[in-house]
Protein backbone atom coordinates (compact mmCIF):
# COMPACT_ATOMS: atom_id res chain seq x y z
CA UNK A 1 0.00 0.00 0.00
CA UNK A 2 1.80 2.96 -1.05
CA UNK A 3 1.01 5.86 0.89
CA UNK A 4 0.06 8.30 -1.39
CA UNK A 5 -1.06 7.89 -4.73
CA UNK A 6 -1.22 11.41 -5.46
CA UNK A 7 -2.16 14.89 -4.79
CA UNK A 8 -3.59 18.08 -6.17
CA UNK A 9 -2.08 20.92 -4.26
CA UNK A 10 -4.33 23.90 -4.77
CA UNK A 11 -2.36 26.60 -3.30
CA UNK A 12 1.19 25.71 -3.48
CA UNK A 13 2.00 25.10 0.06
CA UNK A 14 4.28 22.61 -1.55
CA UNK A 15 7.78 23.91 -1.48
CA UNK A 16 9.76 23.06 -4.55
CA UNK A 17 13.19 21.77 -4.76
CA UNK A 18 14.40 21.14 -8.20
CA UNK A 19 17.89 19.92 -8.02
CA UNK A 20 18.40 16.23 -8.07
CA UNK A 21 21.27 15.38 -5.84
CA UNK A 22 22.60 12.37 -7.47
CA UNK A 23 25.09 10.97 -4.99
CA UNK A 24 22.44 10.95 -2.31
CA UNK A 25 20.16 8.85 -4.40
CA UNK A 26 19.20 5.95 -2.22
CA UNK A 27 19.01 2.54 -3.66
CA UNK A 28 15.55 2.10 -5.06
CA UNK A 29 13.42 -0.27 -3.05
CA UNK A 30 9.87 -1.30 -3.06
CA UNK A 31 8.23 -0.16 0.10
CA UNK A 32 4.87 -1.62 -0.47
CA UNK A 33 2.72 -1.37 2.61
CA UNK A 34 4.65 1.46 4.09
CA UNK A 35 1.93 3.69 5.49
CA UNK A 36 0.03 0.89 7.04
CA UNK A 37 3.20 -0.62 8.30
CA UNK A 38 4.45 2.61 9.76
CA UNK A 39 1.24 3.32 11.56
CA UNK A 40 1.18 -0.13 13.05
CA UNK A 41 4.76 0.27 14.16
CA UNK A 42 4.62 3.81 15.40
CA UNK A 43 1.18 4.37 16.84
CA UNK A 44 1.66 2.76 20.17
CA UNK A 45 1.29 3.38 23.79
CA UNK A 46 3.30 1.42 26.28
CA UNK A 47 4.45 -0.88 23.57
CA UNK A 48 0.95 -1.79 22.50
CA UNK A 49 -1.08 -0.73 19.51
CA UNK A 50 -4.13 1.33 20.21
CA UNK A 51 -7.21 -0.85 20.33
CA UNK A 52 -10.94 -0.61 20.69
CA UNK A 53 -12.87 -2.14 23.56
CA UNK A 54 -12.67 -5.56 21.99
CA UNK A 55 -8.94 -5.40 21.71
CA UNK A 56 -8.88 -4.89 17.97
CA UNK A 57 -6.07 -2.72 16.70
CA UNK A 58 -7.02 0.78 15.67
CA UNK A 59 -3.61 2.34 15.19
CA UNK A 60 -3.76 2.16 11.44
CA UNK A 61 -7.19 3.79 11.36
CA UNK A 62 -6.05 6.62 13.58
CA UNK A 63 -3.03 7.15 11.42
CA UNK A 64 -4.90 7.25 8.16
CA UNK A 65 -7.66 9.38 9.57
CA UNK A 66 -5.47 12.13 10.92
CA UNK A 67 -3.00 12.13 8.11
CA UNK A 68 -5.77 12.39 5.54
CA UNK A 69 -7.45 15.21 7.43
CA UNK A 70 -4.18 17.04 7.56
CA UNK A 71 -3.70 16.73 3.84
CA UNK A 72 -7.24 17.95 3.19
CA UNK A 73 -6.60 20.91 5.48
CA UNK A 74 -3.71 21.80 3.24
CA UNK A 75 -5.69 21.59 0.07
CA UNK A 76 -4.34 18.24 -0.95
CA UNK A 77 -6.75 15.62 -2.16
CA UNK A 78 -5.13 12.25 -1.88
CA UNK A 79 -5.88 9.16 -3.85
CA UNK A 80 -4.52 6.15 -2.05
CA UNK A 81 -3.05 3.28 -3.98
CA UNK A 82 -2.96 -0.17 -2.45
CA UNK A 83 -0.53 -2.82 -3.49
CA UNK A 84 -1.74 -5.70 -5.54
CA UNK A 85 0.35 -8.78 -5.99
CA UNK A 86 4.05 -8.15 -5.94
CA UNK A 87 6.09 -9.82 -8.64
CA UNK A 88 7.64 -13.16 -7.77
CA UNK A 89 10.04 -13.11 -4.93
CA UNK A 90 12.94 -15.42 -4.74
CA UNK A 91 12.55 -18.28 -2.34
CA UNK A 92 15.90 -17.40 -0.88
CA UNK A 93 14.64 -14.01 0.14
CA UNK A 94 11.53 -15.50 1.62
CA UNK A 95 13.56 -17.96 3.63
CA UNK A 96 15.78 -15.19 4.92
CA UNK A 97 12.78 -13.20 5.94
CA UNK A 98 11.34 -16.17 7.77
CA UNK A 99 14.61 -16.73 9.57
CA UNK A 100 14.81 -13.13 10.68
CA UNK A 101 11.31 -13.34 11.92
CA UNK A 102 12.00 -16.45 13.91
CA UNK A 103 15.06 -14.80 15.39
CA UNK A 104 13.02 -11.82 16.45
CA UNK A 105 10.48 -14.09 18.08
CA UNK A 106 13.17 -15.77 20.11
CA UNK A 107 14.65 -12.45 21.12
CA UNK A 108 11.25 -11.19 22.10
CA UNK A 109 10.69 -14.16 24.35
CA UNK A 110 14.06 -13.65 25.99
CA UNK A 111 13.34 -10.00 26.53
CA UNK A 112 10.00 -10.82 28.08
CA UNK A 113 11.53 -13.31 30.44
CA UNK A 114 14.21 -10.84 31.40
CA UNK A 115 11.62 -8.10 31.69
CA UNK A 116 13.55 -5.72 29.48
CA UNK A 117 10.89 -3.34 28.34
CA UNK A 118 13.03 -1.63 25.74
CA UNK A 119 13.88 -4.84 23.99
CA UNK A 120 10.33 -6.06 24.24
CA UNK A 121 9.21 -2.98 22.34
CA UNK A 122 11.96 -3.34 19.83
CA UNK A 123 11.23 -6.91 18.92
CA UNK A 124 7.49 -6.43 19.01
CA UNK A 125 7.88 -3.79 16.34
CA UNK A 126 10.07 -6.06 14.33
CA UNK A 127 7.30 -8.62 14.27
CA UNK A 128 4.60 -6.31 12.98
CA UNK A 129 2.83 -7.71 9.99
CA UNK A 130 0.26 -6.03 7.82
CA UNK A 131 -2.79 -8.20 7.33
CA UNK A 132 -5.58 -8.37 4.82
CA UNK A 133 -7.90 -7.10 7.53
CA UNK A 134 -5.81 -4.02 8.11
CA UNK A 135 -6.08 -3.27 4.42
CA UNK A 136 -9.81 -3.73 4.18
CA UNK A 137 -10.43 -1.75 7.34
CA UNK A 138 -8.47 1.17 5.99
CA UNK A 139 -10.31 0.94 2.69
CA UNK A 140 -13.59 0.99 4.56
CA UNK A 141 -12.51 4.08 6.46
CA UNK A 142 -11.50 5.83 3.27
CA UNK A 143 -14.83 4.99 1.71
CA UNK A 144 -16.69 6.50 4.66
CA UNK A 145 -14.50 9.58 4.45
CA UNK A 146 -15.18 9.94 0.77
CA UNK A 147 -11.53 9.51 -0.11
CA UNK A 148 -10.85 7.64 -3.32
CA UNK A 149 -8.47 4.75 -3.54
CA UNK A 150 -7.45 2.17 -6.08
CA UNK A 151 -6.00 -1.26 -5.74
CA UNK A 152 -3.09 -1.64 -8.09
CA UNK A 153 -2.89 -4.69 -10.31
CA UNK A 154 0.64 -5.22 -9.11
CA UNK A 155 2.90 -2.72 -7.47
CA UNK A 156 1.46 0.43 -6.06
CA UNK A 157 4.44 2.46 -7.18
CA UNK A 158 3.87 1.53 -10.78
CA UNK A 159 0.20 2.39 -10.51
CA UNK A 160 0.96 5.75 -8.93
CA UNK A 161 3.31 6.55 -11.75
CA UNK A 162 0.72 5.55 -14.31
CA UNK A 163 -1.93 7.77 -12.73
CA UNK A 164 0.45 10.67 -12.70
CA UNK A 165 1.60 10.05 -16.25
CA UNK A 166 -2.00 9.99 -17.39
CA UNK A 167 -2.57 13.35 -15.81
CA UNK A 168 -5.16 12.02 -13.39
CA UNK A 169 -3.22 13.31 -10.44
CA UNK A 170 -0.68 15.97 -9.74
CA UNK A 171 2.08 13.59 -8.82
CA UNK A 172 3.07 10.41 -7.09
CA UNK A 173 3.91 10.61 -3.44
CA UNK A 174 6.35 8.03 -2.30
CA UNK A 175 9.69 7.67 -0.63
CA UNK A 176 10.64 5.16 -3.22
CA UNK A 177 12.81 6.23 -6.10
CA UNK A 178 11.44 3.36 -8.11
CA UNK A 179 8.39 5.49 -8.66
CA UNK A 180 10.51 7.74 -10.77
CA UNK A 181 11.91 4.82 -12.65
CA UNK A 182 8.36 3.80 -13.39
CA UNK A 183 8.09 7.12 -15.11
CA UNK A 184 6.04 9.40 -12.92
CA UNK A 185 6.41 12.95 -14.22
CA UNK A 186 6.48 14.24 -10.66
CA UNK A 187 7.60 12.52 -7.54
CA UNK A 188 6.76 13.98 -4.14
CA UNK A 189 8.91 12.84 -1.30
CA UNK A 190 8.41 13.47 2.39
CA UNK A 191 4.70 14.02 1.96
CA UNK A 192 4.17 12.47 5.33
CA UNK A 193 6.04 14.99 7.35
CA UNK A 194 5.18 17.97 5.28
CA UNK A 195 3.63 19.98 8.06
CA UNK A 196 5.71 18.10 10.48
CA UNK A 197 8.37 20.70 9.67
CA UNK A 198 11.18 18.25 9.75
CA UNK A 199 11.82 18.19 6.06
CA UNK A 200 10.17 20.11 3.26
CA UNK A 201 8.25 18.25 0.64
CA UNK A 202 10.67 17.38 -2.08
CA UNK A 203 9.27 17.67 -5.57
CA UNK A 204 11.26 15.82 -8.16
CA UNK A 205 10.59 16.24 -11.83
CA UNK A 206 11.30 13.28 -14.04
CA UNK A 207 12.05 15.50 -16.96
CA UNK A 208 14.52 17.55 -15.02
CA UNK A 209 16.17 14.47 -13.65
CA UNK A 210 16.75 13.17 -17.14
CA UNK A 211 17.89 16.56 -18.24
CA UNK A 212 20.21 16.98 -15.31
CA UNK A 213 21.74 13.57 -15.79
CA UNK A 214 21.70 13.95 -19.53
CA UNK A 215 20.03 10.61 -19.88
CA UNK A 216 17.19 9.07 -21.77
CA UNK A 217 14.45 7.07 -20.15
CA UNK A 218 16.21 3.93 -21.27
CA UNK A 219 19.57 4.79 -19.80
CA UNK A 220 17.90 5.98 -16.64
CA UNK A 221 16.23 2.63 -16.17
CA UNK A 222 19.57 0.94 -16.70
CA UNK A 223 21.09 3.26 -14.16
CA UNK A 224 18.52 2.32 -11.56
CA UNK A 225 19.15 -1.34 -12.22
CA UNK A 226 22.87 -0.86 -11.77
CA UNK A 227 22.26 0.89 -8.50
CA UNK A 228 20.24 -2.00 -7.25
CA UNK A 229 16.53 -2.50 -7.42
CA UNK A 230 14.24 -5.10 -5.98
CA UNK A 231 14.22 -7.22 -9.08
CA UNK A 232 17.84 -8.15 -9.31
CA UNK A 233 21.27 -7.82 -7.82
CA UNK A 234 23.68 -5.09 -8.65
CA UNK A 235 27.32 -5.46 -9.56
CA UNK A 236 29.63 -5.38 -6.61
CA UNK A 237 32.03 -2.52 -6.88
CA UNK A 238 29.77 -0.37 -8.99
CA UNK A 239 28.07 2.38 -7.11
CA UNK A 240 26.45 5.61 -8.19
CA UNK A 241 29.51 7.29 -9.66
CA UNK A 242 30.79 4.42 -11.69
CA UNK A 243 27.34 3.45 -12.84
CA UNK A 244 26.74 6.93 -14.13
CA UNK A 245 30.13 7.20 -15.75
CA UNK A 246 29.81 3.81 -17.39
CA UNK A 247 26.39 4.57 -18.76
CA UNK A 248 27.55 7.90 -20.07
CA UNK A 249 30.24 6.09 -21.94
CA UNK A 250 28.45 2.97 -23.10
CA UNK A 251 24.75 3.88 -23.18
CA UNK A 252 23.46 0.50 -22.06
CA UNK A 253 24.08 -2.36 -19.69
CA UNK A 254 24.83 -4.64 -22.62
CA UNK A 255 27.64 -2.42 -23.82
CA UNK A 256 28.97 -2.01 -20.33
CA UNK A 257 29.08 -5.73 -19.77
CA UNK A 258 30.92 -6.20 -23.01
CA UNK A 259 33.68 -3.85 -21.99
CA UNK A 260 33.85 -4.50 -18.28
CA UNK A 261 37.11 -5.90 -16.97
CA UNK A 262 36.11 -9.27 -15.54
CA UNK A 263 39.13 -9.28 -13.27
CA UNK A 264 37.92 -6.24 -11.44
CA UNK A 265 34.19 -6.68 -11.44
CA UNK A 266 32.23 -9.86 -11.26
CA UNK A 267 28.80 -9.76 -12.77
CA UNK A 268 26.24 -11.97 -11.05
CA UNK A 269 25.63 -15.18 -12.88
CA UNK A 270 22.51 -15.28 -15.05
CA UNK A 271 22.02 -11.67 -14.17
CA UNK A 272 18.39 -10.93 -15.04
CA UNK A 273 18.85 -7.27 -15.79
CA UNK A 274 16.82 -7.48 -18.97
CA UNK A 275 13.88 -8.87 -17.06
CA UNK A 276 14.18 -6.14 -14.50
CA UNK A 277 14.25 -3.64 -17.29
CA UNK A 278 11.00 -4.99 -18.66
CA UNK A 279 9.26 -4.41 -15.35
CA UNK A 280 9.88 -0.70 -15.48
Among 4, 5, 9, 63, binds DNA (CB under 7 A): 63
Q: How far is the CB of 247 from DNA (least distance, A)?
A: 11
Least distance in angstroms from the C-beta of 82 to DNA: 17
Residue 204 CA to residue 214 CA, distance in Å, equals 16
What is the C-alpha to C-alpha distance for residues 107 and 119, in angstroms, rounded to an integer? 8
Indicate whether 238 belongs to the interface with DNA (CB under 7 A).
yes
CB of 2 to DNA, least distance (A): 12
Q: How far apart are CA 267 and CA 171, in angstroms?
A: 36
Please give the radius of gyration of the chain, using alpha carbons only, rounded to the nearest integer: 21
Residue 196 interacting with DNA (CB under 7 A): yes
Query: Of the two residues 103 and 168, which places its CB atom closer to DNA in the complex?
Result: 103
Q: How far apart are CA 49 and CA 56, in angstroms?
A: 9
Applying CB under 7 A, does 200 fall inside the site for DNA?
A: no
Rule CB under 7 A: say whether 26 interacts with DNA: yes
When asked if residue 157 is in the footprint of DNA (CB under 7 A), the reply is no
Please state whether beta strands 2-6 and 79-82 pair in parallel, antiparallel, or not at all (unpaired): antiparallel
- Name the nearest CA neighbour of 36 among 158, 179, 138: 138
Q: How far is residue 63's CA from residue 82's CA, in Å, rounded to a whole number?
A: 16
Strand partners, 151: 82
Site for DNA in 115-144 (CB under 7 A): 125-126
To which H or E segment does residue 203 belong?
A: strand 202-205
Q: Tell me how crowded residue 159 is: count the other CB atoms within 10 A of its CB.
A: 24
**Contact pattern for DNA over residues 27 through 56, marking x by CB under 7 A:** x-xxx-----xxx-xxxxx----xxx----
Indicate the SS3 state at residue 186: strand
User: Which one of residues 105, 133, 195, 218 is an interface residue with DNA (CB under 7 A)?
Assistant: 195
Position among 13, 66, 131, 248 found at the interface with DNA (CB under 7 A): 66
Q: Closest approach of Cβ 65 to DNA, in Å? A: 8
Please report, as ranges, the residues that interact with DNA according to CB under 7 A.
24, 26-27, 29-31, 37-39, 41-45, 50-52, 58, 62-63, 66-67, 69-70, 96-97, 100, 125-126, 175-176, 192-193, 195-196, 234-243, 264-265
Amino acid sequence: MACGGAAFPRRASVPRRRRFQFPKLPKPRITASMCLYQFLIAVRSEGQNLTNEDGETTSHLMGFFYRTLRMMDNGIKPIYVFDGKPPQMKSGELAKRGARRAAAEVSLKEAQEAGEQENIDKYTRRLVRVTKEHNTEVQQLLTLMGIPFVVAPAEAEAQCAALAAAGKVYGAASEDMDTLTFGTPTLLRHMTYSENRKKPINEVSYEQVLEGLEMTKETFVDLCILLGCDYCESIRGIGPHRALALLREHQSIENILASLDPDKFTVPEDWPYAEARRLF
